[in-house]
Amino acid sequence: MSSHPFADTPEPPYVAVIFTSVRTPGDNGYAVMSASLDALAREQPGFLGVESAREGVGITVSYWTDQAAAQGWKRVAAHLVAQRRGRDVWYEDYRVRVATVEREYGRDTSGLDAG
Amino acid sequence: MSSHPFADTPEPPYVAVIFTSVRTPGDNGYAVMSASLDALAREQPGFLGVESAREGVGITVSYWTDQAAAQGWKRVAAHLVAQRRGRDVWYEDYRVRVATVEREYGRDTSGLDAG
């Protein structure tokens, strides 16, 4: 994670991949795999940024220029995970949701009150 | 948060509101406000579920039947936050992204390998 926790995304539309997971107990090579995935994501065409937190449940949202870029990343990630030990070793359960971001606002753009 | 950390969302499409934040130091009434917000969200028309984690950055993704429901929630949340002490007291910075979920898959639906 960078010191700036927010992905520096452009004007919408762009694509968000919301990955929600519950880990299995123990590391089992997860930390190394996770760092590899993170480094690999940043090299992918169409990568815009990533935000991540774990507190019981883990939520990682990666942002992509378009659906094709998000699909490309999915193939690369699946390949890496399969090469290593496989997702069942690391994740008790997970969900992946692919979404098109239509609006974005923050504290400096009138925030929760804005349309 | 429920013991089951994943939102029980239906077949897409539906709407995800991705709220990413960095807290200010200290509680300042945040815990009470946050619990109120959570309880209030669950009563809103069109609420589907919520997933949340904080680890440096906080990520809360709430899910809604449609854009109108997400907009309705935004107005209710803004009102509650304004009634209490205001978002600048609790958040150093934040981003809100409103997105339409087009695809969802999990471990039991062939996961990272699926289209």
pLDDT in tens, B91-103: 999 999 999 999 9
Structure-model confidence comparison of residues A8 and A113, the more confident one: A8
What 8-state DSSP symbol labels residue B44?
S
Please state, in angstroms and rounded to a whole number, the distance separating the CA atoms of residues B109 and B115.
Answer: 10
Position B54 pLDDT exceeds 70: yes
To the nearest whole Å, the CA of A53 is away from the closest chain B CA by: 5
- Whole-number Å distance between alpha carbons of A93 and A115: 35
pLDDT (0 to 100) of residue A109: 63
Domains of chain B: 14-101 (3.30.70.100)
Helix axes A30-43, A67-83, angle to 10 degrees: 150
Interacting residues of A22 by C-beta distance below 8 A, sequence separation 6+: A56, A57, A58, A91, A92, A93, A94, B5
ipTM: 0.88
Structure tokens at A64: 């992509």
What the block records as the tokens of A19 is 């990955």
pTM, entire model: 0.89
* Tokens encoding A43: 């090299």
User: Is residue A49 over pLDDT 90?
Assistant: yes
Please name the residues in contact with B75: beta carbons below 8 A apart, sequence gap of 6 or more. Answer: none
Q: Please tell me which residue, B5 or A112, carries the higher pLDDT value.
A: B5
Task: Mutate one of A52, A59, A73, A85 to test the B interface: name it (highest B CB count within 10 A).
Answer: A59
User: Per DSSP, what are the bridge partners of residue B37?
Assistant: none
Contacts of A79 by beta carbon, 8 Å cutoff, 6+ apart? none
Find, in chain A, the residue whose alpha carbon is nearest to that of B103: A98
Residues A45, B40: Cα–Cα separation, whole Å:
40
* Binding-face residues of B in 21-80 toward A, CB within 8 A: 22, 51-59, 61, 74, 77-78
Count of CA atoms in the C-beta half-sphere (13 A) of B26: 4
Q: How many residues does chain A have?
A: 115
φ/ψ region of A111 (left if φ > 0, alpha if ψ in -120 to 50, else beta) reads: left
